[in-house]
Amino acid sequence: MTVVQVGPLMPFLESALASDYAARRLPDTFADGAFDDVTIAVTSGRVGVGAALMSRLPALRAVINFGVGYDTTDVAEATRRGIVVSNTPDVLDDCVADTALGLIIDVMRGLSAADRYVRRGDWPAHGNPPLARKVSGARVGILGLGRIGLAIARRLDGFGCDISYHNRSPRDVPYRYAPSPAALAADVDVLVVAVSGGPNTRHLVSAEVIDALGADAFLVNVARGSAVDETALVSALVGGRLAGAGLDTFADEPHVPAALLTLDRVVLTPHLGSGTSETRRAMSDLTLANLARFVKDGTLVTPVAGS
């Protein structure tokens, strides 16, 4: 089988693909027919393999995805063409949950803002910064109680938080179920977005949901940027209709709305939810395991639903 790399990957993974599978790097532009022999594409959740690229790789039979998110790959088109798709679930749950917790603490307690306050010399000049909000005992809503959402909830248990959630359907968990995202938002101090990406969750956090949160509540997003109506979010933050936000993902990465850059009530991180050496190595290992399994017998270790 012929393997091609689509987009940048971790150096360890790129090296293994080149040495073990003689993988070629797919250029941004290429002549028709140049990659007609490619049977396996290895990519990431940030790049993916869309329908247009699939049509130019006629022999493609598998898309091996580095990352739990795969919304950049057209799974419906892949299924129609008989192409299977894998991702790397589970191995990054802890790190993404840790990131969510860090953003909650940072934005509610104002830690990054306080750090900037000290560095600017404002402490001796102006005294103590404004009071922040307490995390322990806060009412936290989790939008999407999958593996990552549940890992976030279990961490918040240690803070004595009152946890509620919204999912496509209720789960057998000791947390309160809300019938809709807006109903969830209306009853919490902080809303954590942990849904999967794709068209089904696009703008799930709508203007209505943001308005339901209100001026005293916070939004934390460790899911996809597409899950939040970013225009409505920016408007609410600039207009003081939301207390603050902790954002690890954005609608047009790596571009961040300029209006957010000057707001002390917003914590911005560059999509680093799974960004630890241990987790990225585990993700690379699972990516290679999926590749090896497909080469061996045409199956996958962790196929995505519907592929």
Summarised one tens digit per residue, pLDDT across range 264-283 is 999 999 999 999 999 999 99
Mean pLDDT, rounded, for 226-249: 98
Q: Annotated active-site positions, please? A: 224, 253, 271
- CB-CB contact of 127 with 101 (8 Å): no
Is the per-residue pLDDT at 65 higher than 80? yes
Structural domains of the chain, ranges and CATH numbers in brackets: 3-89+277-297 (3.40.50.720), 93-268 (3.40.50.720)
Mean pLDDT of 93-119: 98
pLDDT at 306 over 90: no
**Per-position b or e across 140-154, b if 16+ CB within 10 A of its CB:** bbbbbbbbbbbbbbe
Whether pLDDT at 299 is above 80: yes
Q: What share of the chain is helix, strand, coil (3-state, %, to 5)?
A: 40, 15, 45
Q: Reply yes or no on whether the pLDDT at 307 is more than 80.
A: no
Burial class for 275, CB neighbours closer than 10 Å (0-12, 13-18, 19+): middle
pLDDT above 90: percentage of residues in the chain: 96
Structure confidence at residue 304 (pLDDT) = 94
Is the pLDDT reported for residue 109 higher than 90? Answer: yes
Direct distance between the N- and C-terminal alpha carbons of the chain, in angstroms, rounded to an integer: 20
Please tell me whether the overall predicted TM-score, pTM, comes out greater than 0.85 for this model. yes
DSSP state letter for 247 = E
pLDDT at residue 16 greater than cutoff 90 = yes
Amino acid identity of residue 154, one-letter, is R
- For the chain, give the percent of residues with pLDDT over 70: 100
- DSSP for residue 131: P
Task: For residues 167-171, give the mean pLDDT.
Answer: 95
State the pLDDT at residue 217: 98
Separation of alpha carbons 263 and 44, rounded Å: 31
Instruction: Summarize the confidence of residues 205-210 as an average pLDDT.
Output: 98
- Per-residue pLDDT for 259 more than 80? yes
Q: In the prediction, which pLDDT does 305 show?
A: 82
What is the mean pLDDT of the segment spanning 218-225? Answer: 97
Residue 48: left if φ>0, alpha if ψ -120 to 50, beta else—which one?
Answer: left
Is the pLDDT confidence value at 198 over 90?
no
